[in-house]
Every structure is written in structure tokens, then in C-alpha cells.
Amino acid sequence: MFRIANPEYLYALIVIPALIAFFWYSRILRKKALALFGQKDILSVLMPNVSASRPVLKFILLLLALTSIIVGIARPQFGSKLKTEKRKGIELIIALDVSNSMMAEDIQPNRLERAKRAISQLVDKLSNDKIGLIVFAGDAYTQLPITADYVSAKLFLSSISPEMVPTQGTAIGAAIDLGVKSFNPQFAGSKAMIIITDGENHEDDAVGAATAAAKAGIVVYTLGMGLPQGGPIPDNSNGQKGYRKDKSGNIIVTKLDEAMLQKIAEAGNGAYIRANNAQVGLNNLFTEVNKMEKSELESQIYADYDDKFQYFIGFGLFLILLDFLILERRNKYLKNFKLFGERK
């Protein structure tokens, strides 16, 4: 298991693109300054030892060295020892709708991004529970199997986008069916699913799937992302902001289907909560979930981590030494040396 002990230091990497921009700009100014003295061909004769590529190579080496040192300061670590830990909790699966309608901006900044932020905050509150992530649109896919590794959960969450599901639509039933199969069959404790969607189900029998999940002992909660009046779906395919239109040229407005989500929650013996611009409501749902009976969970976690920062620091120092040894000018003693001789 890999982790960064002090990830806050990685923010220093923002200086890399700034240095690249500064170097590129200084090269432009240098070329303009040289152009004032004469033509390039004449100047190359007057300055035979000047190299155009070596300063670039030295700059790249310095950038790599700086990057390596910054990563080293952030203390990369690898897990070296596993231990089995027992604790009381529940198994929770969150199914997140990633269809195009979740990009509507009736909830700021948009439905999907607001849902991801709320899930991230929820993960921060977990302590003894296991969590899994499912994404769905026209079909459903497991993004993260049931795990107690909250760091991985947040990492996978950050990469979620509509592009990761090739088939568009909103197959809530498929997400529930996949969730039922994703729980640990050996775990006899409480199991819950939270379906986060705008409720526009066009694909399958979501209510029937929730009923089947309830019979299997899984409580299904629903969280409605969107406002009743709805909003247009952004379309940036032409390089400029626009909105999706139907075949008649009218802007498509996606609205929250509360009736559907209430039916799904009722069939799944759960509860329905609607999000708004003031709050998402996931914390309220988690309060309900947290009331469920806790059972003993057994999971393997990494107890010890070995620091590997020394390799990154060492590599960075080596690159700095290499940069020091490489001169910006050509070596006058080696410039005429040809390793393989001249071609005849």
C-alpha cells in the first residue's frame, strides 16, 4: 500500500509550471535581444561555442530535481506490515449517478460535483464502517469494492466523471442489483445502500430492484440531486459553453423526479432526502444509517509504513550534480571529436 505522509507539501509542485512559463518567456526575450546584434548565421560564427540545446537540458534536469525533492519532502511511504483488525460497524455502498443530467447546474457548481464533495465529507466521518462505490448511467460499474481504506475511497471518488461510463441513461435498478452483489456474503451485519441521483430513471425497474434488496436485508436510501424546477444540461462539445438540445432544437431541461426516488426508498425500507443549494443532505442520511445495528467487522490494514523519501531526495541531488557538470557552452576540446568518424 502506497501513501503520502505529508501530502500538503505537494502543493509546492505548483511552482513547476510557473518556472516553465518564466523560462520560456526568458528564451523569447533572449532571442529578441540577440536579433538586435545581427543575423543568426553571423552570430553563430562569432560565438562557435554557444549551445542552444544545453541550457534547455540543464533547465529540464533542474525541474526534475526540484520535482523529485518536493515529492521526497512529502514523504512517500509503502506499507510493510499487515494486521487484522476487528471493529464494529456496517457495510455501506454509495451508488452515484454519473449521467449527463448530473452536470446540470441547478445545484452549484453542478449536481455531480456537489455530490462528490458531500461523499468526501461523509468518508471523513467514517471510523469503523466499510464503504464501497458504484457509478452508473445507462449501466452500472463497481468503482471501489467494499473496503475500510478511506484514503482509497477518496482517491477513486476524485476521478469520477460522466466519461467513465460509455452508455448514457439512468439505470437505477442496475445500480441496486450490482450493489446487492457487491456486499460481503459472509458479513451478517447491517447493510445499506445510498443511491445519489436526480431520479430520471429511463432504463429498468428500480422499484422492483429495491424491493429485492430489502428482502435480502439491505436498506436502500435515496438522495435526490437537483431542484424540482430543474436546469439545462451543459454542452461544451463545440469548445464554447452551450446546452444540450432535443431534435426540435429546444434546450433540454432535466428535472428532479422525487416521486420515483420516494418509491425506491419506500420499497427499500429506507428514506428519501432532497438536496438543495444550502445542503446536500447526505449527513442526514448517514445519521439514519448510523442508527443501524453495528456488527463486528474484520479487515486487514497496514500497521507499519516504510519511508522512501531518501530515494527521491537522492535522485534529486544526483540530477543537481549532473546539471552542475553540464556546461552551457560546448567543450572547445571535444567539439571536433567524432566517436564513429566521418562517413565516406
Q: Nine-digit cell at 343?
A: 562517413
* Average pLDDT rounded to a whole number, residues 13-26: 92
Q: Is 119 helix (H, G, I), strand (E, B) or coil?
A: helix
Predicted local confidence at residue 145, as pLDDT: 94
**Predicted pLDDT at 60:** 92
Task: Yes or no: say if 182 and 142 are a contact pair by the CB < 8 Å rule.
Answer: yes
User: What are the residue ranges of helices labelled H in the chain?
Assistant: 15-35, 40-46, 54-73, 111-125, 150-158, 172-182, 206-215, 258-267, 282-290, 309-325
If you search the block for the grid coordinates 439512468, which residue do you land on?
Answer: 170
Please tell me the predicted confidence (pLDDT) of residue 50.
Answer: 59
> CA–CA separation, 146 vs 191, rounded Å?
11
Range of lowest pLDDT (18-27, 78-87, 312-321):
78-87
pLDDT at 61: 92
pLDDT at 344 over 60: no
Position 294 pLDDT exceeds 70: no
What pLDDT is stored for residue 338 in this prediction?
A: 46
Examine the pLDDT at 95 and tell me if it is beyond 50.
Answer: yes
What does pTM read for this prediction?
Answer: 0.62
According to the model, what pLDDT value does residue 63 have?
A: 93
Mean pLDDT of 136-153: 91
Q: Bridge partners of 272?
A: 222
Confidence band (pLDDT; 50, 70, 90) for 69?
very high
What's the pLDDT at 87? 62
